[in-house]
């Protein structure tokens, strides 16, 4: 597709019968069912609740994160391409060895 061309999108009907062509800057509004009893009951485990709460318990070194973030913002962050390539190769070698042993 070239810039400025409109894609060929088939016409679809919403649940209210309104035609939607997929063109335009905003998606059509989504209506929620008025009956709150429709749906499924969901329970979340305590592990999932702690994971979703955002508590990191010191697993993330925020000083290092902030230092990298500021280096990126300043344009002084340097990527070590050799270290990345070495890690990619060692991971690929590990996967190949694991696949050969099975």
pLDDT tens digits along 16-63: 555 555 545 455 555 555 556 678 888 888 888 888 776 555 688 899
**Residue bearing tokens 């009907």:** 13
Comparing CA positions, the residue from 32, 8, 4, 31 lying closest to residue 21 is: 8
**pTM given for the model:** 0.35
Query: Per residue in 72-98, pLDDT tens?
Result: 999 999 999 999 999 999 999 999 998
pLDDT of residue 60: 86
Strand runs labelled E in the chain: 12-13, 19-20
Helix, strand or coil for residue 74? Answer: helix
CA distance 2 to 9: 15
Tokens of 101: 């042993």
């Amino acid at each position: 597709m070239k810039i400025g061309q409109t894609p060929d999108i088939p016409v679809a009907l919403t649940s209210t019968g309104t035609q939607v062509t997929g063109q335009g800057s905003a998606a059509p509004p989504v209506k929620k069912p008025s009956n709150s009893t429709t749906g499924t009951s969901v329970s979340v485990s305590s592990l999932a609740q702690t994971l979703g709460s955002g508590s990191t318990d010191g697993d993330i070194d925020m000083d290092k994160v902030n230092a990298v973030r500021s280096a990126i913002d300043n344009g002084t962050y340097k990527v070590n391409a050799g270290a990345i390539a070495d890690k990619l190769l060692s991971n690929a070698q590990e996967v190949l060895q694991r696949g050969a042993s099975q």
